[in-house]
Amino acid sequence: MVPDSEEARLFLASCGLELCVANGDETPAPLDIVQQLSSAYVEPVVVVPMDAPNPVEELGRQWHGVAARQRLAAEDGRFLILLAGPGASARGWFCVKDSVGRDLPARLLEGNGSLEFIALSMDGKRICATSEEDDGYWVVYEEVSS
């Protein structure tokens, strides 16, 4: 999937995400962010146990709450997203607006088989991600390291 392709637009639309223009904002390389989040020092701000009632729904509530508190989305609703899967770093960031505003992990799980994703603020300074770990589903918030 290439960021400007019709395939990307259709996939994102199927998940309730509208592909946007990034306006030339400087962003960190996807691999740099992936490596930062792969550090042994990264701790979740929320852990949703996999055996919790409706864990994916709860993960969505928690992710949206953290993202809102940290002002991940720009005033116009745009943010950057890196989807999980092979070649994610090579595909790069997608600039999107979320037209649904809830249950993003569940929508991505339905669309690409993974609830994992990394979202980045338009200024490239704040990360809010989800991941599946041994002890549950994580919501991670980090500021981009310099």
Q: Is the dihedral of CA 101, 144, 125, 24 positive or negative?
A: negative
Q: What is the pLDDT of residues 49-68, one digit of tens each?
A: 999 999 999 999 999 999 99
pTM: 0.92
Please report the pLDDT score of residue 85 as a whole number.
81
Residue 15 in tokens: 């998940």
Place of tokens 């979740």: 44
Spans of all domains in the chain:
6-143
**pLDDT interval class at 2 (50, 70, 90):** very low
Residue 103 in tokens: 């249950």
Q: What is the pLDDT of residues 11-54, one digit of tens each?
A: 889 999 999 888 766 789 999 999 999 988 999 999 999 999 99
Contact by Cβ (8 Å): 9, 1: no
> CA-to-CA distance for 139 and 127, rounded, in angstroms?
10
